[in-house]
Amino acid sequence: RPLGVRLMTALAEHRLNVVYQPLINFQSGKLVGFEALIRWQTNEGDVIPPDVFIPLAENNGQAWRVAIYVLEQVVEDMGSILRRRRDLHVNINIVADDLQNEKFLSALSYLLERANIQPQQIGLELTERTPVDFEKAGDAIVKLHARGHRIYIDDFGIGYSSLAYLGTLDIDAIKIDKSFTRTVSLSENAISIVPQIISMAHEFGLDIIVEGVETEEQAEYFRKLGIDIVGQGWYLGMPMSAVHARSLAAPSK
Ligand code: G
Ligand code: G
Ligand code: MN
Ligand code: NA
Protein backbone atom coordinates (compact mmCIF):
# COMPACT_ATOMS: atom_id res chain seq x y z
CA ARG A 1 0.00 0.00 0.00
CA PRO A 2 1.13 3.58 -0.55
CA LEU A 3 3.13 5.08 2.27
CA GLY A 4 0.60 7.87 2.84
CA VAL A 5 -2.15 5.32 3.51
CA ARG A 6 0.12 3.33 5.81
CA LEU A 7 0.87 6.52 7.72
CA MET A 8 -2.83 7.19 8.31
CA THR A 9 -3.31 3.62 9.54
CA ALA A 10 -0.28 3.87 11.81
CA LEU A 11 -1.62 7.12 13.28
CA ALA A 12 -5.05 5.62 13.83
CA GLU A 13 -3.50 2.57 15.51
CA HIS A 14 -1.27 4.75 17.60
CA ARG A 15 1.94 3.18 16.35
CA LEU A 16 4.09 6.29 16.10
CA ASN A 17 6.32 7.27 18.95
CA VAL A 18 7.37 10.63 20.36
CA VAL A 19 10.81 11.22 21.89
CA TYR A 20 12.08 14.24 23.78
CA GLN A 21 15.38 16.05 23.36
CA PRO A 22 16.58 18.31 26.20
CA LEU A 23 17.02 22.06 25.76
CA ILE A 24 19.80 23.36 28.02
CA ASN A 25 20.73 26.91 28.97
CA PHE A 26 24.48 27.28 28.32
CA GLN A 27 25.01 29.79 31.12
CA SER A 28 23.25 27.98 33.94
CA GLY A 29 23.62 24.46 32.58
CA LYS A 30 19.97 23.97 33.50
CA LEU A 31 17.24 22.17 31.64
CA VAL A 32 14.68 24.62 30.23
CA GLY A 33 12.54 22.19 28.27
CA PHE A 34 12.39 19.63 25.48
CA GLU A 35 11.73 19.37 21.77
CA ALA A 36 9.20 16.64 20.92
CA LEU A 37 10.29 14.58 17.90
CA ILE A 38 8.08 12.04 16.16
CA ARG A 39 9.36 8.57 15.23
CA TRP A 40 7.81 5.94 12.98
CA GLN A 41 8.94 2.36 12.88
CA THR A 42 6.71 0.18 10.71
CA ASN A 43 5.49 -3.27 11.71
CA GLU A 44 8.07 -4.62 9.27
CA GLY A 45 10.75 -2.88 11.31
CA ASP A 46 11.62 -0.14 8.82
CA VAL A 47 12.31 3.27 10.29
CA ILE A 48 10.72 5.97 8.16
CA PRO A 49 12.16 9.39 8.97
CA PRO A 50 9.87 12.40 9.51
CA ASP A 51 11.69 14.13 6.64
CA VAL A 52 9.96 11.55 4.43
CA PHE A 53 6.50 11.17 5.95
CA ILE A 54 5.81 14.76 7.07
CA PRO A 55 5.99 16.13 3.48
CA LEU A 56 3.80 13.22 2.42
CA ALA A 57 1.20 14.13 5.03
CA GLU A 58 1.43 17.76 3.92
CA ASN A 59 0.88 16.86 0.27
CA ASN A 60 -2.20 14.86 1.25
CA GLY A 61 -3.59 17.68 3.38
CA GLN A 62 -3.16 15.52 6.48
CA ALA A 63 -0.43 17.40 8.32
CA TRP A 64 -2.92 18.41 11.01
CA ARG A 65 -3.43 14.75 11.94
CA VAL A 66 0.26 14.40 12.72
CA ALA A 67 0.32 17.68 14.65
CA ILE A 68 -2.65 16.68 16.82
CA TYR A 69 -1.16 13.21 17.35
CA VAL A 70 2.06 14.72 18.68
CA LEU A 71 0.19 17.21 20.82
CA GLU A 72 -1.94 14.49 22.41
CA GLN A 73 1.16 12.43 23.10
CA VAL A 74 2.97 15.39 24.64
CA VAL A 75 0.02 16.11 26.92
CA GLU A 76 -0.14 12.47 27.98
CA ASP A 77 3.63 12.05 28.42
CA MET A 78 4.58 15.40 29.87
CA GLY A 79 1.40 16.85 31.36
CA SER A 80 2.27 15.80 34.90
CA ILE A 81 5.75 17.27 34.79
CA LEU A 82 4.57 20.47 33.08
CA ARG A 83 2.02 20.99 35.85
CA ARG A 84 4.68 20.51 38.51
CA ARG A 85 7.29 22.61 36.76
CA ARG A 86 5.81 25.74 35.24
CA ASP A 87 9.33 26.85 34.26
CA LEU A 88 9.64 24.06 31.69
CA HIS A 89 8.28 23.99 28.17
CA VAL A 90 7.94 21.45 25.38
CA ASN A 91 8.30 22.48 21.75
CA ILE A 92 6.45 20.77 18.97
CA ASN A 93 7.19 21.03 15.26
CA ILE A 94 4.45 22.35 13.03
CA VAL A 95 4.18 23.09 9.31
CA ALA A 96 2.66 26.13 7.64
CA ASP A 97 -0.64 24.30 6.97
CA ASP A 98 -1.15 23.70 10.68
CA LEU A 99 -1.30 27.46 11.26
CA GLN A 100 -4.41 27.61 9.07
CA ASN A 101 -5.98 24.44 10.31
CA GLU A 102 -8.98 24.93 12.60
CA LYS A 103 -8.89 21.34 13.82
CA PHE A 104 -5.32 21.73 14.98
CA LEU A 105 -5.84 25.20 16.45
CA SER A 106 -8.88 24.19 18.46
CA ALA A 107 -7.22 20.94 19.62
CA LEU A 108 -4.31 23.04 20.80
CA SER A 109 -6.42 25.20 23.08
CA TYR A 110 -8.79 22.46 24.17
CA LEU A 111 -6.15 19.86 25.06
CA LEU A 112 -3.99 22.30 27.00
CA GLU A 113 -6.88 23.77 28.91
CA ARG A 114 -8.21 20.34 29.82
CA ALA A 115 -4.78 19.24 31.03
CA ASN A 116 -4.03 22.49 32.88
CA ILE A 117 -0.93 23.21 30.81
CA GLN A 118 -0.19 26.86 30.11
CA PRO A 119 0.18 28.00 26.48
CA GLN A 120 3.58 29.43 27.49
CA GLN A 121 4.65 25.83 28.11
CA ILE A 122 4.06 24.71 24.53
CA GLY A 123 6.39 26.24 21.95
CA LEU A 124 5.66 25.96 18.25
CA GLU A 125 8.58 25.40 15.88
CA LEU A 126 7.88 26.47 12.35
CA THR A 127 10.46 25.38 9.81
CA GLU A 128 11.51 27.66 7.04
CA ARG A 129 12.79 24.80 4.92
CA THR A 130 9.59 25.10 2.90
CA PRO A 131 8.26 28.51 1.87
CA VAL A 132 5.72 30.12 4.17
CA ASP A 133 3.03 32.50 2.97
CA PHE A 134 3.71 35.49 5.19
CA GLU A 135 0.32 37.12 4.68
CA LYS A 136 -1.53 34.07 5.92
CA ALA A 137 1.02 32.79 8.39
CA GLY A 138 1.47 36.25 9.92
CA ASP A 139 -2.13 36.49 11.14
CA ALA A 140 -2.11 33.01 12.62
CA ILE A 141 1.22 33.63 14.31
CA VAL A 142 -0.02 36.87 15.86
CA LYS A 143 -3.01 35.00 17.32
CA LEU A 144 -0.99 32.09 18.69
CA HIS A 145 1.57 34.46 20.13
CA ALA A 146 -1.21 36.49 21.75
CA ARG A 147 -2.58 33.31 23.33
CA GLY A 148 0.81 32.90 24.99
CA HIS A 149 2.56 30.34 22.82
CA ARG A 150 6.17 30.94 22.00
CA ILE A 151 6.89 30.83 18.29
CA TYR A 152 10.24 29.56 17.02
CA ILE A 153 11.66 29.73 13.54
CA ASP A 154 13.29 26.33 13.08
CA ASP A 155 16.34 25.55 10.94
CA PHE A 156 17.05 29.26 10.83
CA GLY A 157 19.41 30.36 8.10
CA ILE A 158 19.09 27.55 5.60
CA GLY A 159 15.61 28.13 4.26
CA TYR A 160 13.49 30.76 2.62
CA SER A 161 13.41 34.45 3.55
CA SER A 162 15.24 34.15 6.85
CA LEU A 163 15.70 37.85 7.18
CA ALA A 164 12.21 38.76 6.10
CA TYR A 165 10.81 36.76 9.02
CA LEU A 166 12.71 38.65 11.65
CA GLY A 167 11.21 42.04 11.05
CA THR A 168 7.69 41.11 10.06
CA LEU A 169 6.51 38.10 12.02
CA ASP A 170 5.47 38.03 15.66
CA ILE A 171 8.04 35.42 16.65
CA ASP A 172 9.91 34.82 19.90
CA ALA A 173 13.03 32.91 18.98
CA ILE A 174 15.15 31.42 16.25
CA LYS A 175 16.78 28.01 16.21
CA ILE A 176 20.12 28.37 14.50
CA ASP A 177 20.50 25.44 12.12
CA LYS A 178 23.08 22.77 12.85
CA SER A 179 24.99 23.53 9.68
CA PHE A 180 26.03 26.86 11.29
CA THR A 181 26.85 25.28 14.64
CA ARG A 182 29.47 23.17 12.87
CA THR A 183 31.35 26.32 11.86
CA VAL A 184 32.06 27.64 15.37
CA SER A 185 35.43 27.11 16.94
CA LEU A 186 37.43 28.53 19.86
CA SER A 187 40.40 29.25 17.62
CA GLU A 188 41.08 32.92 16.95
CA ASN A 189 41.10 32.73 13.19
CA ALA A 190 37.96 30.65 12.75
CA ILE A 191 35.45 32.10 10.34
CA SER A 192 31.81 31.75 11.25
CA ILE A 193 28.68 33.75 10.65
CA VAL A 194 27.15 32.62 13.96
CA PRO A 195 28.16 35.73 15.98
CA GLN A 196 26.44 37.91 13.38
CA ILE A 197 23.29 35.79 13.46
CA ILE A 198 23.23 36.04 17.24
CA SER A 199 23.69 39.79 17.36
CA MET A 200 21.08 40.28 14.66
CA ALA A 201 18.59 38.13 16.57
CA HIS A 202 19.32 40.15 19.69
CA GLU A 203 18.64 43.41 17.87
CA PHE A 204 15.23 42.06 17.04
CA GLY A 205 14.71 41.02 20.67
CA LEU A 206 14.62 37.33 19.82
CA ASP A 207 15.76 34.42 21.95
CA ILE A 208 18.25 31.97 20.50
CA ILE A 209 18.47 28.22 20.45
CA VAL A 210 21.55 26.64 18.92
CA GLU A 211 20.90 23.26 17.29
CA GLY A 212 23.25 20.39 16.70
CA VAL A 213 25.67 20.99 19.58
CA GLU A 214 27.82 17.89 19.28
CA THR A 215 31.11 18.75 21.01
CA GLU A 216 32.48 20.23 24.23
CA GLU A 217 34.27 22.88 22.17
CA GLN A 218 31.01 24.08 20.65
CA ALA A 219 29.35 24.17 24.08
CA GLU A 220 32.30 26.11 25.50
CA TYR A 221 32.08 28.59 22.65
CA PHE A 222 28.47 29.43 23.49
CA ARG A 223 29.10 29.47 27.25
CA LYS A 224 31.88 32.00 26.69
CA LEU A 225 29.61 34.39 24.83
CA GLY A 226 28.17 35.17 28.26
CA ILE A 227 24.61 35.73 27.11
CA ASP A 228 21.48 33.68 27.68
CA ILE A 229 21.50 31.14 24.90
CA VAL A 230 19.83 27.75 24.88
CA GLY A 231 21.44 24.74 23.21
CA GLN A 232 20.27 21.42 21.86
CA GLY A 233 22.31 18.56 20.50
CA TRP A 234 23.88 15.19 21.11
CA TYR A 235 26.50 16.65 23.42
CA LEU A 236 23.82 18.17 25.65
CA GLY A 237 21.33 15.33 25.48
CA MET A 238 20.05 12.75 23.02
CA PRO A 239 16.38 12.46 22.12
CA MET A 240 14.97 10.18 24.84
CA SER A 241 11.85 8.32 25.86
CA ALA A 242 9.13 10.07 27.85
CA VAL A 243 10.11 8.04 30.92
CA HIS A 244 13.67 9.33 30.76
CA ALA A 245 12.58 12.88 29.97
CA ARG A 246 10.29 12.93 33.00
CA SER A 247 13.00 11.71 35.32
CA LEU A 248 15.44 14.28 33.94
CA ALA A 249 12.87 16.98 34.65
CA ALA A 250 11.63 15.76 38.02
CA PRO A 251 12.55 18.21 40.78
CA SER A 252 15.57 16.76 42.53
CA LYS A 253 14.95 16.30 46.24
O1 G B 1 14.25 13.98 14.66
P2 G B 1 14.76 14.00 13.25
O3 G B 1 16.17 14.43 12.99
O4 G B 1 14.51 12.68 12.58
O5 G B 1 13.83 15.03 12.50
C6 G B 1 13.96 15.24 11.17
C7 G B 1 13.07 16.39 10.79
O8 G B 1 11.71 16.06 11.05
C9 G B 1 13.38 17.63 11.57
O10 G B 1 13.42 18.70 10.67
C11 G B 1 12.23 17.79 12.48
O12 G B 1 11.90 19.15 12.66
C13 G B 1 11.10 17.09 11.75
N14 G B 1 10.16 16.59 12.74
C15 G B 1 10.41 15.78 13.78
N16 G B 1 9.29 15.54 14.49
C17 G B 1 8.31 16.24 13.86
C18 G B 1 6.92 16.42 14.12
O19 G B 1 6.34 15.90 15.07
N20 G B 1 6.24 17.21 13.24
C21 G B 1 6.83 17.83 12.20
N22 G B 1 6.08 18.59 11.40
N23 G B 1 8.13 17.69 11.92
C24 G B 1 8.87 16.90 12.76
O1 G C 1 14.69 20.46 12.22
P2 G C 1 14.62 20.13 13.65
O3 G C 1 15.44 21.04 14.48
O4 G C 1 13.27 20.01 14.22
O5 G C 1 15.28 18.74 13.79
C6 G C 1 15.83 18.30 14.93
C7 G C 1 16.57 17.08 14.47
O8 G C 1 17.96 17.20 14.71
C9 G C 1 16.10 15.88 15.23
O10 G C 1 15.77 14.91 14.30
C11 G C 1 17.28 15.39 15.99
O12 G C 1 17.33 14.00 16.00
C13 G C 1 18.44 15.99 15.22
N14 G C 1 19.53 16.29 16.10
C15 G C 1 19.46 16.60 17.41
N16 G C 1 20.66 16.86 17.93
C17 G C 1 21.54 16.71 16.94
C18 G C 1 22.96 16.84 16.87
O19 G C 1 23.65 17.18 17.81
N20 G C 1 23.52 16.62 15.65
C21 G C 1 22.79 16.28 14.56
N22 G C 1 23.44 16.08 13.42
N23 G C 1 21.44 16.13 14.58
C24 G C 1 20.84 16.35 15.76
MN1 MN D 1 12.54 21.47 15.36
NA1 NA E 1 15.89 22.49 13.19
Where in the chain are the domains? 3-249
Considering every ligand atom, which ligand is closest to the CA of 177? 4
Q: Which residue owns the Cα nearest ligand 2 atom 20?
A: 212
pLDDT digits (tens, 9 = 90+) for 241-251: 999 999 999 96
The one-letter amino acid code at 30 reads K
How far apart CA 233 and CA 231 sit, in angstroms, is: 7
- What ipTM score was computed for the predicted complex, to two decimals? 0.96
State the DSSP H helix or E strand holding residue 243, giving kind and residue range, or none if neither: helix 242-249
pLDDT digits (tens, 9 = 90+) for 104-139: 999 999 999 999 999 999 999 998 777 777 777 889
The segments of the chain whose pLDDT lies below 50 read 253
Residue 117 has a pLDDT of 98
Residue 162 has a pLDDT of 67
Let me know the angle formed at the C-alpha of 54 by 49 and 56, rounded to the nearest 5 degrees.
105
Residue 60: CB atoms within 10 A of its CB come to 14
Residue 161 has a pLDDT of 61
Residue 92 Cα to ligand 4 middle (Å): 11
Considering every ligand atom, which ligand is closest to the CA of 232? 2
* Fold held by 3-249: TIM Barrel (3.20.20)
Query: Is 51 close to ligand 1, i.e. is its CB under 6 Å away?
Result: yes
